[in-house]
Amino acid sequence: MQLGDVLDSVSLDVATSSIEVTHVDIDSRRCVPGTLFFAMPGVHAHGATFVDDAARHGALAAVSSQPLGAVIPVIVVAESQLHALLAHASSLIVGCPEDELDLIGVTGTNGKTSVTSLVSSLARALGWNGASIGTLTNERTTPDSPELFRTLAHIATGFDAQRSRSVVALEVSSHALDQHRVEGLRFTVTAFTNLGHDHLDYHRTMEEYFSAKAQLFTPEHAKRAVIWCDDPYGLRLADMSSLPVTKVHRSDAKDVEESLQGTIFFWRGHLVNTPLVGDYNVDNSLMAMEILRSLGADESEIATSMADVSGVPGRFELIAAHGFVVIVDYAHTPEGLRRLLGDVRRLIDGGRVITVFGCGGDRDRAKRREMGEVASAHSEITIVTSDNPRSEPPDAIIDAIIEGAVADARVLRMVDRRSAIAEAIRLAEPGDAVVLAGKGHETTQVIGDVVVPFDDRVVARELLK
């Protein structure tokens, strides 16, 4: 496609306009021959620094808000235009896949991955095309525009054209909203799960964090919304949004019966029998079902199809054990951990809870003390270990967590995560539950600048042998 067609709203000279473009990117390392490179402002550096590197990788032209002396043509536009042009070019170059899809945008502190996964799984169970984009599929929770539109195009190519609907559920992070990564997308439905203590290293205050999330609930971004209103921020969002809103409450689930084998409840008068385990998965199920209902699916069919949904990797994932259970979960916020341990306590009915967890380095430090308080208050034994320490000393992170431990709690520290899991399994007795929290589906651990293979599920199974 010629550059003049890709940037059809920008005035170009004849030579520049006729450049053939086959790829769009903002990362010079991902450029290939035929790339249009966008020099975007970044958190740590400006993309203008990397234009020559982009050219060395094959970029034929660049778009920037700054005049640059470069070996390739540089189209200078106002900085306020950059994100919209990037989204337009990224979409156009891969064939505008979003035009053929029902896009669902899910945001919130906890539950994004579970709700998006359930929406796509439930869509497939209903006989529709369904897929999700987020923590389980891409390096970033919400990819940047070029990667996002390429992912949408790849998904759309694999869909069955004979099916009546094609649904793609996208996790939308607060960082993505602040950095305009979903520019150019208009969602059929946007959904809000909750807001809790997280990412305050980036947003500074809860009010700024909420304001970033709230951007998604405007007519520019969506047609309608599904909002969890048992959360005070959700209730506030539902009242302030100008979109048509479906309010969801836990009381929408009637006669809930839970076990380690699954969950049964009634929703809108229909029996729901799902293999999903855990109290918070009732909340996630209610959100997913209301999203599908807002797309026009029949209530009775939605309820019946919940029997066929798939569990989400690393979310209350049960590992086989000998007389006790091992549960792997991604809970990495105070509220997420509190909900998880409350669920475990209720389901094991009398046994002890042994929790292994840590906090990530170079991330929100303010929550560490609270995480230590939650874990120690809701566990008979807490083993504080490493998560992804990154550039921070692991012992310093553990110290900050243990400072929050409640008085007289039994708290151990073991820097090596494998050793911590082994100790938890060694201490477990029949009827107990070992909870491995914080990493969930992750298959690596970041220590310093080294990424090493590490999967809680794999390690637990090896140790249980």
Is pLDDT at 321 greater than 90 in this prediction? no
Contact predicate 359/332, CB 8 Å: yes
The two most distant CA atoms of the chain are separated, in Å, by 76
Is pLDDT at 52 greater than 80 in this prediction? yes
Dihedral in degrees, nearest 10, Cα atoms 9, 189, 165, 274: 150
The answer to which of 195-199, 256-260, 271-275, 396-400 has the lowest mean pLDDT is 195-199
Higher pLDDT, 317 or 140: 317
Q: Which CATH number fits domain 317-464: 3.40.50.1110, 3.40.50.10860, 3.30.1280.10, 3.90.190.20?
A: 3.90.190.20
Task: Indicate the burial class of 95 (C-beta count within 10 angstroms; 0-12, 13-18, 19 or more).
Answer: middle
Residue whose tokens read 């897929």: 131
Residue 140: predicted pLDDT = 84
CATH topology of domain 3-93: 3.40.1390
Can you tell me the distance from the alpha carbon of 148 to that of 427, in angstroms, rounded to the nearest whole number?
A: 45
- Report which secondary-structure segment, H or E, holds 132: strand 129-133
Going by the DSSP 8-state scheme, the letter that residue 126 receives in this structure is T
- β-pairing, 262-267 vs 270-274, is antiparallel
273: Cα within 13 Å, side-chain hemisphere:
2
Is pLDDT at 204 greater than 80 in this prediction? no
pLDDT tens sequence across 292-319: 999 999 999 999 999 999 889 999 999 9
Is pLDDT at 286 greater than 90 in this prediction? yes
Dihedral in degrees, nearest 10, Cα atoms 360, 365, 370, 373: 60
pLDDT tens sequence across 25-35: 999 999 999 99
CA proximity to 84, closest of 171, 190, 182, 172: 182
Residue 199: predicted pLDDT = 63
CA proximity to 391, closest of 362, 423, 419: 362
- The segment(s) of the chain belonging to CATH 3.40.1190.10 are 97-308
Which two three-digit tokens encode residue 406? 């409640």
Distances (CA, A) of 283 to 114, 269, 276: 10, 17, 11
- The segment(s) of the chain belonging to CATH 3.90.190.20 are 317-464
Contact predicate 257/265, CB 8 Å: yes
- The segment(s) of the chain belonging to CATH 3.40.1390.10 are 3-93
- Report which secondary-structure segment, H or E, holds 247: strand 245-248
The answer to which of 68-72, 319-323, 357-361, 425-429 has the lowest mean pLDDT is 319-323
Strand order in the sheet with 325-329: 317-319, 325-329, 433-437, 353-357, 381-384, 410-413
Which two three-digit tokens encode residue 29? 């390392």
Can you tell me the distance from the alpha carbon of 277 to that of 461, in angstroms, rounded to the nearest whole number?
A: 20
Is 97-308 assigned to CATH 3.40.1190.10? yes
Can you tell me the distance from the alpha carbon of 290 to that of 161, in angstroms, rounded to the nearest whole number?
A: 25
Contact predicate 291/222, CB 8 Å: no
